[in-house]
Structure 1
Amino acid sequence: MNIKVCGMKYPDNISALLKLEIDYIGLIQYPKSPRYCPLNNVDWSVIKRYDIEPIAVFVNCSSKQILETVKDTPIKTIQLHGEEPIRTCIELKEMGYKVIKAFGIDAYFSWSICEEYTPYIDLILLDTKTPKYGGTGKKFDWEILKDYPYQTPFFLSGGIELDDLSTIMNIAHKKLYGVDVNSRFEDSPGRKNIHNVNTLVEKIKDFHNTN
């Protein structure tokens, strides 16, 4: 079970998070988000010390805008969290980037929405559909995961908190790649509670060690 902590913003908080056994750190490149973290504010030398992959998260940007933003950084994975067309995924893949495409789930969601994207992305991220593009702390109905039809692995996101772990760890879907956590692990927007994230890490490790 991979662990992605998204919406990191503050250098001291990032440094503390990197000492935990997580797999990915998400840096939001959406200026309207309270978790917006310009990449030129990031101390890449600190991130490079750890085996944790940084991911740049964009909302409705063109591939040209994305490439301009991530140039001169070690970013190799892009998360698209808006209504980006398939062409953007293709262009980023052609430039050698891994692509995560987020899909918002609500009562009207259909798996067919994802189908055309799957040949051109590396991971799907399933989040709760809201006008704010994430970070709302709201869950969608996880029962829908039983019908996930694709070979593309997926991250589970949207309002995940510590009390959800036993439920998540018992989701018996072989394509569940990991959890993406954000607002439910914050003291304030962009500042994660390191103790709670560490508890998440330890609980997931304990589950795997006993199963």
Structure 2
Amino acid sequence: MTKVKICGLRTPDDIGYVNQLKPDYAGFVFAPSKRQVSLLLALRMRVRLAPQIRAVGVFVNEPLETVAALCRQKIIDIVQLHGDEDASYIGRLKEQTAVPVIRAVRVQNKEQVLEAEQLPCDYLLLDTFVEGQYGGSGKQFDPSLIPEQLQKPYFLAGGLDEHNVREILTRCRPFAVDVSSGVETNGYKDFDKIRRFLEAVRQNP
């Protein structure tokens, strides 16, 4: 079954929602954005997060030492890199920590995705390319840009919501889907939208 990551958690209510609804992953954004959380807030939320939900830290060009420290402190279980981090950065991070690494790709063509597959990461995250943005655009990209020969498991992001996710899952078979703005109302996580999104994914054959 396709796994689900709810990203951009930043309030106590958000933690309560995911603890009740049980997605597979919860994402905390440490990069500058409207959903950015401080180290202290992330720690407070992580302590309350249900143990079966894996905490993903989202970073953009963060100093490696900062990311490694968050891993060692058990604040995050998985590192998601959305910036310009290269094979050397990922390799050094994996030498210092035992956590899996997700490398985000802002998809422009199939060749770019296949090139990213060669990086020493555990997963890819395929997101929409928007000039000047590292992610979180809320816009979709064409699933036909995902190479059929792609072997590395990937998270699919970009403009997903309860209304389109089932149709998209008939066109591609990601390891997981990643949603943030698609389960929000007026910029805040919406319990019913999260519930309906999870139902749409989990009812997919």
- Which TM-score applies when normalising by structure 1? 0.86
Aligned to 1:158: 158
1:98 aligns with 2:105: no
The residue aligned with 2:124 is: 124
- The alpha carbon displacement at 1:116 in A equals 3.1
SS of structure 2 residue aligned to 1:101? strand
CA distance in 1, matches of 2:25, 2:62: 22
**Are 1:18 and 1:50, in contact at CA under 8 Å, matched by a contact in 2?**
no
* CA distance, structure 2, for counterparts of residue 21 and residue 66 of structure 1: 25
- TM-aligned CA deviation for residue 204 of structure 1: 2.1
Secondary structure of the corresponding residue to residue 26 of structure 1: strand
Separation in structure 2 between the aligned mates of residue 29 and residue 177 of structure 1, nearest angstrom: 24
Q: CA deviation at 1:70?
A: 4.3
User: Unpaired segments of 5 or more residues in structure 2?
Assistant: none
Amino acid at match of 1:79: Q
Give the one of 109, 114, 117 matched to 2:116.
114
Greater length-normalized contact order (CA 8 Å, ≥ 6 residues apart):
1
* CA deviation map 1:1-53 (0-9, x unaligned): 000011111122222222113100000011x2000012321323311x34100
Tell me how large the CA RMSD over aligned residues is.
2.0
C-alpha distance in 2 between matches for 1:80 and 1:169: 24
**1:166 and 1:27, CA in 2 relative to 1: closer, same or farther beyond 3 A?**
same
Residue 196 (structure 1) aligned to one of 187, 193, 205: 193
Distance 2:108 2:151 in 1: 22
Distance in 2 between the 1:80 and 1:97 partners? Answer: 13
Which residue in the other structure is 2:182 paired with? 184
Shift of 1:88: 1.4
Structure 1 alignment gaps of length 5 or more: none
Shift of 1:161: 1.4
Separation of aligned partners in 2, 1:50 and 1:171: 32
Letter of the aligned partner of 2:200 in structure 1? Answer: K
Q: Secondary structure at the match of 1:140?
A: coil
Helix, strand or coil for the counterpart of 1:139? coil
The answer to whether the 8 Å contact 2:138/2:182 transfers is yes
User: 1:152 and 1:67 mapped to 2: Cα distance?
Assistant: 23
